[in-house]
Amino acid sequence: MSIDNTLNSQAANKQIGNEESRNEQSEYDPDLPNASAVMAAICCVSSQYAVNPSTDLAILISDLAHKLAAPQYAESKLIAEVAKRLAFQWDAIVDDLHDALLATTPLDGTCH
């Protein structure tokens, strides 16, 4: 297998792993006792992302949005809908950041 194929395969596996990890994140977090606490965390991290965008912050926000989708936080239909939309939007941002990283990563195995 060539280096290009190996790197593409590793990147695809990592992306699949990230998607599986994000899907597992829709579980209740005892450190965030209610939907308001999760929303406050999302707002706080989102403001940090606005000042200094990074893949790590985007992933964290995506994970928090998936947590908000947990049944324990579904205090109303509105919260469930907002959680679903936030998760979808932040997943798209994370995917775009991963795609941009893949597009700028040299695939010939050399680093300059």
**b/e for 9-41, b at 16 or more Cβ within 10 A?**
eebeeeeeebeeebeebbeebeebeebeebbeb
41: left (phi over 0), alpha (psi -120 to 50) or beta: alpha
pLDDT at 8: 40
Query: How do residues 59-74 score in pLDDT, each as one tens digit?
Result: 999 999 999 999 999 8
Query: How do residues 33-53 score in pLDDT, each as one tens digit?
Result: 899 999 999 999 999 999 999
> In a 10 Å sphere around its CB, with 0-12 CB exposed, 13-18 middle and 19+ buried, how is residue 96 labelled?
exposed
Q: Are 58 and 65 in contact (CB under 8 A)?
A: no
pLDDT at 42: 96
pTM value? 0.71
Other C-beta atoms within 10 Å of 74: how many?
Answer: 15
Average pLDDT over residues 21-31: 65
